[in-house]
């Protein structure tokens, strides 16, 4: 198994590193071995109604590169770099005072990941990350989200690995702590329950039930909770404030393995329990509205070298 971009960061998923939810099931490599993975994702959230009137849609593009080296038989370390871009369009707005609260969002990020396996049964993970998320025109000042994901996992058998993890982040001006479960359970030769997304600044790893038809095709479905914040520019209705998008993506995935190192994933998702908000620098929420369930499609390509 290898790390891929998560289209449901939406950034995040942010997926800044081959986080603990993904790497816990990987077998040990020989000391000195280096692996490189590259992922590209495109996503489109189709027109979605805002409860307070109006609608929006947005498109997302992400590029992720990760390098991991097996230092010893017990310890591995890696680094990753990612860039995410979102473009938002709004129409018929009565919500937010009739003005678009934000337009385009840029999120570059860097991450490290460390894994220690004192035995074949135990694996400990630590993945610090930093990203700068802001509307076009904000620069990097006041846009940083930083923190780390930590985890411990135990392999009970060749078919079952369980663990727990926690993420601790400073999300621009707000502290965020979340626990999550690590699951890698081969229920049968074809049916599997696992974590589909990397844990990171926008939330935990979620759960997915997947079925492998053969060595090439896999169908899965699952969900997670996502929430991310970004700095607004001076032209926003909340000038230099902070925007936030929170939602629960419930998704289906169809994957095709081109070969042992390349994969294409097609996602269809319903974005439920969505909420948009904007706060000023004092922490006062000036704009806030729920949005109805939306529909999104994403296509991801990943390659390991």
Domains of the chain: 20-304 (2.40.160.40)
End-to-end CA distance of the chain: 13
Give φ, ψ of 233 to 5 degrees: -85, 180
Do residues 229 and 133 make contact, with C-beta atoms less than 8 angstroms apart? yes
Is a pLDDT exceeding 70 seen at residue 102?
A: yes
pLDDT of residue 95: 67
Is a pLDDT exceeding 60 seen at residue 19?
A: no
Is a pLDDT exceeding 90 seen at residue 282?
A: no
pTM value is 0.87
Please, which pLDDT band fits residue 67 given cuts at 50, 70 and 90?
very high
Do residues 46 and 140 make contact, with C-beta atoms less than 8 angstroms apart? no
Is a pLDDT exceeding 80 seen at residue 135?
A: yes
Please, which pLDDT band fits residue 283 given cuts at 50, 70 and 90?
confident
Long-range contacts of 254-262 (CB under 8 A, 24+ apart): 254/217, 254/218, 254/219, 255/217, 255/218, 255/219, 255/220, 256/216, 256/217, 257/215, 257/216, 257/217, 257/218, 261/2, 261/303, 261/304, 261/305, 262/301, 262/302, 262/303, 262/304
Q: Number of C-alpha atoms within 13 angstroms, CB side, residue 295? A: 3
């Amino acid at each position: 198994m290898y790390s891929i971009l998560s289209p449901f960061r939406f950034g995040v998923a942010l997926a800044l590193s081959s986080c603990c939810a993904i790497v816990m099931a990987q077998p040990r490599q020989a000391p000195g071995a280096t692996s490189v993975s590259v992922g590209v994702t495109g996503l489109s959230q189709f027109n979605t109604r805002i409860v307070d009137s109006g609608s929006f849609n947005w498109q997302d593009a992400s590029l992720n590169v990760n390098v991991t080296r097996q230092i010893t038989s017990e310890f591995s370390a890696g680094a990753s770099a990612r860039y995410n871009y979102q473009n938002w369009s709004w129409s018929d707005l009565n919500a937010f005072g009739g003005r678009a609260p934000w337009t385009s969002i840029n999120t570059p990020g860097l991450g490290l990941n460390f894994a220690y396996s004192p035995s074949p049964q135990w694996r400990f993970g630590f993945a610090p990350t930093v990203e700068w998320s802001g509307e076009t025109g904000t620069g990097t000042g006041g846009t940083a989200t930083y923190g780390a994901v930590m985890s411990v996992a135990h392999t009970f058998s060749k078919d079952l690995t369980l663990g727990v993890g926690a993420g601790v982040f400073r999300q621009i001006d707000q502290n965020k702590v979340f626990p999550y479960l690590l699951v890698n359970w081969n229920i049968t030769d074809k049916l599997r329950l696992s974590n589909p997304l990397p844990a990171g600044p926008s939330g935990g790893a979620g759960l997915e039930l997947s079925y492998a038809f053969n060595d090439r095709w896999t169908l899965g479905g699952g969900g997670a909770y996502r929430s991310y914040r970004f700095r607004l520019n001076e032209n926003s209705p909340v000038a230099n404030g902070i925007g936030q998008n929170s939602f629960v993506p419930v998704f289906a995935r169809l994957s095709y393995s081109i070969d042992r190192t390349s994969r294409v994933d097609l996602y269809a998702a319903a974005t439920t329990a969505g909420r948009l908000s904007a706060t000023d620098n004092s922490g006062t929420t000036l704009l806030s509205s729920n949005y109805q369930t939306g529909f999104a499609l994403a296509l991801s390509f990943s390659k390991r070298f």
